[in-house]
Structure 1
Amino acid sequence: MKEDDLLARWLNDDLSEKELAEFEASPDFEKYHKIKNYTAHLEVDDLDENAMLSNILQQKKTAPKVIPLYKKRLFRVAAIFVLALGITFVMKNFVPQSQTANFGEKTTFSLPDNSEVVLNSGSEINYKKWNWDTNRRLELKGEAYFRVSKGRRFEVQTPLGKVSVLGTQFNVKARKNRFDVTCYEGRVKVNYASTQIILTRGQSVTFENGKQFNTDIKSSKPAWIDNQICFNKENIKSILDELQRQYDITIELNADHTTSLFTGKLPTKDLDMALQIISTTYHLKAKKVSKNKIIFDEK
């Protein structure tokens, strides 16, 4: 008989007299007897299985707080949205705004006070929206026509000079060393170097190489608004530069006897006609060597 089985029967008082005598004679009996005497003093309540199950079912389990994955995504999207709004606000109000008209294009846009600006080809304007109503100031490179809403002083700063107005309509052109300002409505104050001049409706002023030229005009808006370029005593280099901007082309001049000044108009939507007028005026021959390149040679 196995010892484990004999031990179990002894603990349950299930041994015969012979078996009990043999077990008591075994060398490990004394050890088993001490254990039995010690455990006899331990008291264990009867196990009520039904009561235990009922108690488990009635206990309220506190579930850990778990944020669903879709809510985490919503929080992240909301944070990004708020950040984007902040960046957009700063960009639109504090960071300088830029408007450009590429070669062969014109751009029309409105300023924060609804003043309207038309940019001629190859021109750029920079300004800030922040506090615009009390600081209507912008920087111009090139040529632009302005219809200014009434309000505080309106300033146009160019590399060659500054124009200050209230509500009015005027044109400013600053190309290389030539500065042209024309007033079509209201009054315009022009600052060029140490010279200051007031223009009223129908007056125009040109500064070039330190010289001043005053002209009276009859039109109500710049010719380039209606797809024509108006020149007043300009050299052929300036004329060809303007054609390159208007048509987005390259022009090469191979002629020496072209020093006379030109006064007149050229179309900005008919290149062949513009080339013919220049050829006739300066006794040149125009040759198209590619789609976007023209060469003028002497006849």
Structure 2
Amino acid sequence: MEENYKLAKWLSGEMTGEELAAFQAEPDFVIYENIKKHSASLQAPSFDEDKTLATILASPKKEIKTISLAQNWFFKIAAVLVIGLGLFLGFQNFSSSTVYAENGTLNSFTLPDNSEVVLNSGSEIEYKKWNWSNNRALKLNGEAYFKVAKGQKFEVNTSLGKVTVLGTQFNVKQRDNRFDVTCYEGKVKVTYGDNETIITKGMSVAFEDGKSIAMPEHLAQSPEWLNNEMVFYQEDLKSILSEFERHFNVTLTLKSKDNSQLFTGTIPSENLEIALQILSTTYHLKPTKVSKNEFILENLDAQ
């Protein structure tokens, strides 16, 4: 520090005579003297203030973009909406779709491959839209009529059995422990337990409680229920009343001791009173109206 202080005083010419004589006697003084002599000949480049200012003003200006807080929030909201829409569409495609037909109604709709489906009363179908053309499989609970577009294998799965087709028209009915399939065009394969059966146009198969039921030839061109008729083949009264309840959207209470007789026949389904009268005559019952949508069926012998 002391050496730097003496050097600074010498360069600024502030040393006294005694101090200068002592400094010149030091061995490094010759080096300091040469540095001072050569540095004095150096010149800094001239600085033209006006020229430098003009150059700065003439240079192209870069626009500084700013995003206000409101714009920033707008972009964030837009991003959330886009992501949300993507998730929604993905959920719609990958999740299962369910179609219902409430009691007292029919429901017609088309599948993604334009296959046509008509759901009978009190029935539902569940399927997935995603990759439908390569995986045409659905779940049926109830009864439905299908007009299947040609394409990959088409499967109708129920809790009792499965129907497999390529392109045809057929009806599937699964109610409680009974499973019925009728083919109206083409060919279908019906799987019930370990049993596989191929049926073609006009043929029907039926199973109940694990047993096969021999079915007559079916001459109709489409299911009778599409034309306001209910067709039963060897069905008990309990099953028939359940079908009435679904079709007419009513509640029927049976008060009868003997109802084991099996019924085969066609009952018009446009008018509840007429339908009840036909059924009551067959089973010797008397229908009593309790309210708008509730009836009691009792044995005539009990009157």
TM range (shorter): 0.7 to 0.9
Displacement of 1:68: 6.8
Conserved in 2, the CA contact under 8 Å of 1:287 and 1:295?
A: yes
Query: For residue 225 of structure 1, what is the aligned residue in structure 2?
Result: 226
Runs of 4+ in 1 over 4 A off after TM superposition: 71-74
Unmatched 5+ stretches in structure 1: 1-59
SS in 1 for 2:142: strand
Q: What is the total number of aligned residue pairs between the two structures?
A: 239
Shift of the 64–84 alpha-carbon distance from structure 1 to 2, 3 Å rule, reads: closer
CA distance in structure 2 between the aligned counterparts of 1:185 and 1:63, rounded to whole angstroms: 73
Displacement of 1:91: 2.4
Query: For residue 284 of structure 2, what is the aligned residue in structure 1?
Result: 283
CA distance in structure 2 between the aligned counterparts of 1:232 and 1:163, rounded to whole angstroms: 20
SS in 2 for 1:294: strand
SS in 2 for 1:216: coil
Shift of the 267–74 alpha-carbon distance from structure 1 to 2, 3 Å rule, reads: farther
Match of 1:112, as an amino acid? P
Shift of the 291–76 alpha-carbon distance from structure 1 to 2, 3 Å rule, reads: farther
1:127-138 equivalences under 5 Å are 127-138=127-138
TM-score relative to the length of structure 2: 0.74
CA distance in structure 2 between the aligned counterparts of 1:73 and 1:107, rounded to whole angstroms: 46
Conserved in 2, the CA contact under 8 Å of 1:205 and 1:215?
A: no
SS in 2 for 1:258: coil
- Which digits, 9 at most, give the CA deviation of each residue in 1:11-56, with x for residues without a partner? xxxxxxxxxxxxxxxxxxxxxxxxxxxxxxxxxxxxxxxxxxxxxx
1:92-107 equivalences under 5 Å are 92-107=92-107
Displacement of 1:64: 8.8
Unmatched 5+ stretches in structure 2: 1-60
| Aligned alpha-carbon RMSD (Å) | 2.0
1:1-299 equivalences under 5 Å are 65-67=66-68, 69=70, 71=71, 74-75=74-75, 78-213=78-213, 214-299=215-300
Match of 1:223, as an amino acid? E
TM-score relative to the length of structure 1: 0.75
Displacement of 1:75: 3.1
Conserved in 2, the CA contact under 8 Å of 1:252 and 1:296?
A: yes
Shift of the 297–90 alpha-carbon distance from structure 1 to 2, 3 Å rule, reads: same
CA distance in structure 2 between the aligned counterparts of 1:202 and 1:122, rounded to whole angstroms: 26
CA distance in structure 2 between the aligned counterparts of 1:73 and 1:223, rounded to whole angstroms: 61
Match of 2:171, as an amino acid? N
Match of 1:94, as an amino acid? F
Displacement of 1:124: 1.0
Aligned-pair identity in percent equals 51
